[in-house]
Chain A
Amino acid sequence: MSGRETAVGGHRRPRRAQLSLSAVEMAVGVLFVLGVAGGFAVGLPDPGGREAQLNGYARDAATLLADEPPMGDGETRLSAAAGSPAGFERERVALAERLETLLPDSVAFRLRTPQGAVGYPLPSADPVGRTTVSTLRGDVSLWVWYV
Chain B
Amino acid sequence: MTRTRSPERWRGSERRRGQANLLAVAVALIVVTAVTVVAVALADGALADATRDPEERRAAERLGDRLVAGESGTALRANVVNETAVRELSAADLDRLAPVVAGRSVRVRLDGGTVVERGDPAGGVTVRRVVRAGERVERSSVHDLGENRTVQLPERTPRARLSFGVGSTVRTVRADGRIVLHDPGGLTGTYDVRVSRFDDVTLSFDAVGDVEGSVTVSRYPVNATATTLEVTVGERA
Contact = CB atoms under 8 A, between A and B. Distances in A.
Contacts of B85: none
Given A5-B5, A101-B226, A33 B131 contact: no
Contacts of B24: 20, 22-23, 26
A49 B42 CA distance: 21
A2 B125 CA distance: 72
Interface size range on A against B: 35 or more
Contacts of B31: 26, 30
Interface residues of B, number: 48
Nearest to A58: B130
Interface stretch (A35-43, A83-91, A111-119, A120-128): A35-43
B11 to A, nearest CB: 8
A33 B20 CA distance: 25
Interface stretch (B33-41, B92-100, B211-219): B33-41
Contacts of A67: 77-80
Contact of A69 (B11, B61, B156, B226): B156
Contact of B79 (A23, A60, A69): A60
Given A34-B35, A67-B77, A101-B226, A53 B13 contact: no
Contact of A60 (B25, B49, B130): B130
Interface in A43-75: 43-46, 49, 52-53, 56-57, 60-61, 63-64, 67, 69, 75
B35 A64 contact: no
Nearest to A25: B28
A76 interface: yes
B199 to A, nearest CB: 7
A138 interface: no
Contacts of A37: 35, 38-39, 42-43
A49 B53 contact: yes
B50 interface: yes
A5 B3 CA distance: 13
Contacts of B228: 104
B159 interface: no
Nearest to A63: B79
Interface in A75-109: 75-76, 101-104
Given A33-B32, A37-B43, A46 B79 contact: no
Contacts of A41: 42, 46
Contacts of B35: 29-30, 33-34, 37
B57 A9 contact: no
Contacts of A33: 32, 35-36, 39
B127 interface: yes
Interface in A1-18: 5-6, 8-11, 13-14
B13 A14 contact: yes
B21 interface: yes
A137 B25 CA distance: 76
* Across the A-B interface, the 4 shortest Cβ-Cβ residue pairs: A26-B28, A37-B39, A22-B24, A60-B130
30 contacts: A5-B5, A10-B12, A20-B24, A21-B21, A22-B24, A23-B28, A26-B28, A29-B35, A30-B32, A33-B35, A34-B39, A37-B35, A40-B42, A45-B49, A45-B53, A49-B57, A57-B130, A60-B68, A63-B78, A63-B79, A64-B79, A64-B226, A67-B77, A67-B78, A67-B80, A69-B200, A75-B198, A76-B198, A102-B130, A104-B228
Interface of A: 5-6, 8-11, 13-14, 20-23, 25-26, 29-30, 33-34, 36-37, 40-41, 43-46, 49, 52-53, 56-57, 60-61, 63-64, 67, 69, 75-76, 101-104
